[in-house]
Structure 1
């Protein structure tokens, strides 16, 4: 099944509103965090950082304006401190380009391990195989693993990596100056109240959106009935629709999913969850899938940007 959407050169006002809400509330929250209960700061800070991750995803796919530079400017401030925007863009577009979704060495967003993975990688994967482990231990393990991989890529001088990190560190210095110098908000507190819960919320979205299967089309899931988290994830919970219509904005995805639901679920083998409540019930204490990818021997590795 081939489903495509023609690129549309228009300005998406709803996404601009989301961007204004994110950055405006982030500024206000960081200014006032010292006077607020820490749990409230963590709840609001986590939401804002996960929401900005969803906004960054929109900008990578060409929204909310027809102008790439403006979209990049809206998405590039690294509020999470650890993920350079240009590296996210390169890795995510490689994820969409590969025909071997979920396979390590092909898909840079794969959660599975290769058979030759080391003991630390295997331990980390087992600890985060359940949803509880992913939410509690996933943020430091995910971020730490990413930083190690990026350090290796920078040392190997892979194209674009050092430049992306140089720009990223300038942004991080500016954000740190705002947090410490203007707001009097310590970086340790920021990591605990913003970065950690934000990463956990993002990992909830990604936990069940892909699953290994012999048929590539059956590797992309859908989570329906998610009015609150659907807003947080800008409808990326309708993940099969996003992969089928990668140029569609988050505002268009629900309509596209509704119109093509039968075809999308036929193509993905019915890999659908009736809400995040089902994801919690099924996987809070049970592994989502095997740790080692079951089809690794069937394909040859690709280079990933």
Structure 2
């Protein structure tokens, strides 16, 4: 993609959130989650199973709407956007402020080995891994255990406290820690209410099942977009938005699934080129670029086929050769 092609599309696509569709979808997902909880409390297994299915669907979309809020694309009003972000982050245990800081750095420094926190974290893990840990990692990968996503969530909780312990007392970091503590107080309050109603164990089991499913989906949706993309040199300048199609991939669109379940998350090239454009406008941006005959590689297979094919390969072969520095 050239800068002129990027600018031509940029002029035709409004920036940020101009319509209320994401906020309305978020409210609908909250209602679905409430319905799912009530079905889970029913005595009948016939109702519990659809309750879990509804909860899984709603939680995946809440994760994706959190992603919209990271880019300021969940609502036109900044306070409402951040409110949606914090509530979504609290529901899925992913701190909004820390996640926003990491994710914005990922977009700014995509494919950089040090300044992209996604790459930096992988390099730090791979470079100290023993052979035994490598075998454990490959076992986890081939058996579809979503440990990569679990570690990703955990890192977002630990990062501000680790930085504080190293002496960072910046206002931004202290704000992240305050909100993390508020999240924890919210969980304690929710547990107390559930315990008083005699449903604490129900809540813990419900949340555990849905959370593991979410981890599975996070890996399914995120891993294809930068797998086997080369890293930049350590001293490289950051890629401009119109250059990031070199290091990101699309996934093939599937009817219903791509637009109405994962909210066009598969259109990752246009998302990196226009990160503040909301999910419901990404197909239009994609169409505009194709009309200009932008010469990026055709879409990969869809997410399910990517996972099915690549879970059979060693993880180090798929992406680790970019990160493993032990040699």
Normalised by the length of structure 1, the TM-score is 0.80
Q: Which residue of 1 aligns with 2:144?
A: 133
Q: Which residue of 2 aligns with 1:205?
A: 221
Q: Which residue of 2 aligns with 1:224?
A: 252
Q: Distance in 1 between matches of 2:91 and 2:312?
A: 28
Q: Which residue of 1 aligns with 2:115?
A: 106
Aligned residues: 291
When the two chains are superposed, the root-mean-square deviation of aligned CA atoms in Å is: 3.3
- Residue 205 of structure 2 aligns to a residue in which SS? helix
- Residue 252 of structure 1 aligns to a residue in which SS? helix
Distance 1:60 1:194, change over 3 A: same
Structure 2, unaligned runs of 5 or more:
233-243
Distance 1:11 1:258, change over 3 A: closer
2:19 touches 2:75 (CA, 8 Å); kept in 1? yes
2:220 touches 2:307 (CA, 8 Å); kept in 1? no
Offset of 1:69 from its aligned partner? 0.8
Distance 1:166 1:30, change over 3 A: same
Higher normalized helix content (fraction of residues): 2
User: Which residue of 96, 107, 124 maps to 2:107?
Assistant: 96
- Bigger-Rg structure (1/2): 2
- Residue 293 of structure 1 aligns to a residue in which SS? helix
Q: Distance in 1 between matches of 2:137 and 2:298?
A: 22
Decide which moves more: 43-52 or 118-127.
Answer: 118-127
Q: Which residue of 2 aligns with 1:156?
A: 166
Q: Is 1:82 matched with 2:93? A: yes
Offset of 1:59 from its aligned partner? 1.4
Higher relative contact order at CA 8 Å, sep ≥6: structure 1 or structure 2? 1
Q: Which residue of 2 aligns with 1:14?
A: 21
Q: Is 1:278 matched with 2:278? A: no
Structure 1, unaligned runs of 5 or more:
298-305
Q: Which residue of 2 aligns with 1:24?
A: 31
- Residue 217 of structure 2 aligns to a residue in which SS? helix
User: Which residue of 188, 192, 210 maps to 2:204?
Assistant: 188
